[in-house]
Amino acid sequence: MKLFSPAFSAGDMIPTKYTCEGENVSPPLEWSDLPPNSRALALILDDPDAPSGLFVHWLIYNLSAEEKGITEGVGTATSHASGALQGTNGFGKVGYGGPCPPEGTHRYYFHLYALDAQLDLPAEVGRQRLDTALKDHTIAEAQLMAKYRKR
């Protein structure tokens, strides 16, 4: 399974547009080579370099396994026409919250999970509840790491 973005390459800097210093919109992401028994997908963006420990920037789950990616600027709606739901990020808001490190260069990991079923979760769940649900349904995982440093 592969995860990539047409907006930046693995290991590169995330363009300012997708951060708190820019438009703070979610970047476009694409994936390929999902396991044939994938029924849904979940995506988590986190920052392991945050001063308080792992910081969650985005939770989106029950994405269709039929899709090949997600467009730029997903927005903050809790649910989408496709059936996808968004959780609550570390900022206490639903949807994407872009990179905004207080100092230094931080690493940001996009984790894509292929699931054997839709998750029986409501919208707006937090990371812990999503992680618990993922344990029973994850059949493959891919990740994309990029960096950001405030100007």
Helix, coil or strand: residue 134: helix
> Which residues have a Cβ under 8 Å from the Cβ of 145 and sit 6 or more positions away?
10, 11, 107, 108, 109, 110
For residue 69, pLDDT over 80 is answered with yes
Mode of pairing for the β-strands spanning 85-86 and 55-64? antiparallel
Query: Which tokens is 147 given?
Result: 């960096």
Angle at 95 between CA 100 and CA 41, to 5 degrees: 115
For residue 141, pLDDT over 80 is answered with yes
Between residues 81 and 96, the one the model is more confident about: 96
Query: Domains in the chain: how many in total?
Result: 1
* Mean pLDDT for the chain overall: 96
Q: Which domain holds residue 16?
A: 2-148
CATH classification of the domain holding 131: 3.90.280.10
Helix, coil or strand: residue 135: helix
* Mean pLDDT within 98-122: 97
Helix, coil or strand: residue 94: strand
> CA 99, CA 47: separation in Å to the nearest integer?
8
In one letter, which amino acid is 78? Answer: T
Pair 75, 95: CB distance under 8 Å = yes
Q: How far is CA 128 from CA 36, 56, 79, 124, 134, in A?
A: 27, 10, 19, 12, 10
> CA 21, CA 5: separation in Å to the nearest integer?
20
Pair 147, 107: CB distance under 8 Å = yes
pLDDT in tens, 18-56: 999 999 999 999 999 999 999 999 999 999 999 999 999
* Mean pLDDT within 132-148: 97
Question: What's the whole-model pTM score?
Answer: 0.96
